[in-house]
């Protein structure tokens, strides 16, 4: 009769195989870098859906030949493919000779433009910043592959959330890859020689008007607040209209850009910040040491107490929630989808377990992105 198997020796053998798998995965990622360089040289897209489908078909066949579950093996390979694409995307953004194409809502001098300059300044290879009239146009250009990244405002400490950005994220096809928190420093801009008492209209983005509501109410009650597509665009219109009764709320950079005069400063609370999110078509790798956040989109079952139960299950898993935002579901009156920001990586053990815990409470659940937490962001 043979002796019992040595459990320690078996575990040592498994760990040795794990090391072989990790080494093979590293070599595969190194090859992904070479593939990315070849694609850049040949102007080929980073993602080739037809090739991925052929690869997965071959993997299913080979898995069955090895007496492995082909569906489970396919699931693993899809993760490996996603890792490879993320690796290629990261390499492209690091290329010294490949300008990064970044879209943002607004014109030169808008707060989105200033945030983009701050985030990407000094990048080797340069950055091509492109302004669009609306956030939707930015995201659509990103989805079409005409932009590499989009930088979108998502919330402000005074005026609250930018609902359009949340709705665009819900439509899919993009993921959050980074965030930036930028202090807002509004100025009231007018034509040279214009006076506060002579103003009759103040143009700006609705969020900026909301941020400066107290100033407008107390200092300019006779002037009408007029919403515009963005702060920089409002400054541009003041210059084009050449009317001393019209002013704009925008940045000091916008005043310099369009030849306007600063009529007033300190228009909003000192601790006024806007949070921007960088959005891409693919996720990018994160350093394991980087403090990170994960954004989730979910639709909860329409039952009493479901929201409280979801929050409780996150708490029991030790997951810290930093933001909860609800938005109505188009075409479904009185039903809502929830945007949730939590601390941690979506692939971490606590968050993975928490997502499995709350999944039965949802009719829809998607990870919008895991990204490094910006300095000064809540959570």
Q: How far apart are CA 56 and CA 54, in angstroms?
A: 6
Residue 144 known to bind ligand = no
Q: How far apart are CA 303 and CA 185, in angstroms?
A: 44
Single out the catalytic residue among 274, 284, 294, 362: 274
Nearest to 94 by CA among 122, 116, 125: 125
* Residue 250: count of CB within 10 angstroms of its CB: 34
Residue 242 region, left (φ>0) first, then alpha (ψ -120 to 50), else beta?
left
Residue 11 known to bind ligand = yes
Q: How far apart are CA 356 and CA 370, in angstroms?
A: 17
Residue 48 known to bind ligand = yes
Single out the catalytic residue among 93, 276, 362, 370: 276
What is the sign of the dihedral through the CA atoms of 67, 70, 74 and 76?
negative
**Torsion on CA atoms 226, 228, 231, 235, rounded to nearest 10:** -70
Rg for the chain, CA atoms, rounded: 25
Question: Is 274 one of the annotated active-site residues of the chain?
Answer: yes
Q: What are phi and psi of 332, to 5 degrees?
A: -130, 85
Residue 89 known to bind ligand = no
Residue 179 known to bind ligand = no
Q: Please answer whether residues 36 and 94 qualify as being in contact, where contact means their C-beta atoms are separated by less than 8 angstroms.
A: no
Residue 28 known to bind ligand = yes
DSSP 129-180: EEEESSHHHHHHHHHTTS-SEEEEEEEETTTEE-HHHHHHHHT-S-EEEEEE
Binding residues, as ranges, are 11, 28, 39, 48, 52, 84, 88
Binding residues for substrate, as ranges, are 11, 28, 39, 48, 52, 84, 88
Active site residues: 274, 276
């Amino acid at each position: 009769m043979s002796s019992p198997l040595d459990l320690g020796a078996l575990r040592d053998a498994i760990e040795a195989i794990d090391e072989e798998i990790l080494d093979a995965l590293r070599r595969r990622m190194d090859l992904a870098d070479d593939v990315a360089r070849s694609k850049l040289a040949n102007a080929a897209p980073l993602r080739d859906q037809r090739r991925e489908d052929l690869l997965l078909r071959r993997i299913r066949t080979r898995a069955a030949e090895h007496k492995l579950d082909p569906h489970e093996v396919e699931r693993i390979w899809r993760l490996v493919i996603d890792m490879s694409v993320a690796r290629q995307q990261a390499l492209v953004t690091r290329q010294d000779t490949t300008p990064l194409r970044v879209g943002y809502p607004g014109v030169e001098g808008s707060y989105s433009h200033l945030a983009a300059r701050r985030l990407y300044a000094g990048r080797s290879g340069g950055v091509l910043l492109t302004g669009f009239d609306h956030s939707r146009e930015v995201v659509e250009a990103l989805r079409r592959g005409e932009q590499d990244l989009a930088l979108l405002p998502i919330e402000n400490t005074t005026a609250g959330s930018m609902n359009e950005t949340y709705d665009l994220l819900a439509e899919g096809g993009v993921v959050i890859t980074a965030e930036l928190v930028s202090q807002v420093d509004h100025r009231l801009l007018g034509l040279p020689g214009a006076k506060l008492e002579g103003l009759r209209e103040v143009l700006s983005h609705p969020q900026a008007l909301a941020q400066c509501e107290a100033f407008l109410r107390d200092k300019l009650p006779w002037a009408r607040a007029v919403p515009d597509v963005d702060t920089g665009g409002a400054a541009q219109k003041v210059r084009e209209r050449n009317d001393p009764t019209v002013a704009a709320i925008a940045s000091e950079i916008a005043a310099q850009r369009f030849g306007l005069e600063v009529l007033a400063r300190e228009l909003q609370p000192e601790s006024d910040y806007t949070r921007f999110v960088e959005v891409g078509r693919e996720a990018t790798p994160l350093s394991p040491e980087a403090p990170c956040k994960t954004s989730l989109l979910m639709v909860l079952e329409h039952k009493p107490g479901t929201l409280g139960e979801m929050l409780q299950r996150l708490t029991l898993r030790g997951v810290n929630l930093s933001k909860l935002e609800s938005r109505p579901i188009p075409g479904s009156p009185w039903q809502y989808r929830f945007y949730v920001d939590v601390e941690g990586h979506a692939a971490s053990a606590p968050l993975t377990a928490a997502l499995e815990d709350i999944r039965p409470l949802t009719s829809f659940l998607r990870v919008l992105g895991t990204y490094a937490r910006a300095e000064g962001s809540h959570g």
